[in-house]
Amino acid sequence: MSKKETTPLYKKVIDDLKSMMDKGEFKKGDLLPSENELCKTYNTTRVTIRQALSDLTNMGYITRRHGKGSIVSEPKKGLGILSLHGVTAGVGDQTLITSILQKPVQQSWPSGFPYEISQEEQEAGCMFFTRLRIINDKPVLFEETYITNRNLPGFLALDLENRSLFKTLNDQYQVEIKEGEQQIWAIHGNKNISKLLDIKTNHPIVHMKRRLQTNVPELNIYSFVYCNTQEYFLQDYF
């Protein structure tokens, strides 16, 4: 059976409408066909069409106004940073610059660390650094990273500027991400975070805490990410 035959109809509606907007057949400010018209075009129900329009709204392609319909907006671009493949793999063909703000340093785990640290990790300590990820000349992600200081000789001397952390760990130490957990909130950025992301203080941002387990026992990666989603939305595929 082909992939096309197994694709849910609402996704086909999304793909078709996105394609027409990307090609300029529907421009910013244009009204999309009504729900009734789309039902007839795709020979389907309102439930299917509304699911497609809801997803397009979440992607930033359209806004929906009661009594008027679906209006084409300036679409945002997706960042696939929710997966365990990392930011570098999630930005696609967009231009990514990784700036190291705090170079890696060896230290003890900070007091009040939000994750439970094993006795082995406590004794090993951690390596801490911060990065600012700039996409298409706009600061989008600020990330604080803690890595268990275990079986990573020479890590502090590595140049991580414009390099993928996960690929570096794999190439240099054969460390691979096996599984993880992440928690996500919407918060108001404080003065320092807002300045780094070039947004107004207290503007809403996405905050994510991640704990990633590797193939090396008691070697974990912890990251605290602050994301400006004014021009991007977060996405992943399952």
Q: Pick 229 or 103 by higher pLDDT.
A: 103
Q: Determine which of 13-27, 82-96, 117-131, 165-179 has the lowest per-residue pLDDT on average.
A: 82-96
pLDDT band, very low/low/confident/very high, at 61 (cuts 50, 70, 90): confident
| Cβ(143)–Cβ(130) below 8 Å | yes
Structure confidence by residue, pLDDT tens digits, 111-161: 999 999 999 999 999 999 999 999 888 899 999 999 999 999 999 999 999
Q: What is the pLDDT of residue 76?
A: 65
pLDDT tops 50 at residue 3: no
pLDDT band, very low/low/confident/very high, at 95 (cuts 50, 70, 90): confident
pLDDT tops 50 at residue 68: yes
Q: What is the pLDDT of residue 227?
A: 92
pLDDT tops 70 at residue 91: no
Q: Pick 113 or 15 by higher pLDDT.
A: 113
Please state the pTM of the whole predicted model.
0.69
Return d(Cα 19, Cα 17) in angstroms, integer: 5
The per-residue DSSP string of the chain comes to --HHHHS-HHHHHHHHHHHHHHTTSS-TTPBPPPHHHHHHHHT--HHHHHHHHHHHHHTTSEEEETTTEEEE----EEE--SSTT-HHHHSTTS-EEEEEEEEEEEEPPPTT-SS---HHHHHH-EEEEEEEEEETTEEEEEEEEEEE-SS-TTGGG---TTS-HHHHHHHHH---EEEEEEEEEEEE--HHHHHHTT--TT-EEEEEEEEEEESSTT-EEEEEEEE--SSEEE----
Q: What is the pLDDT of residue 57?
A: 86
From the list 60, 226, 220, the residue with the least C-alpha distance to 143 is 226
Residue type at 146 in one-letter notation: Y
Q: What is the pLDDT of residue 1?
A: 37
What structural domains and CATH numbers belong to the chain?
3-72 (1.10.10.10), 77-234 (3.40.1410.10)
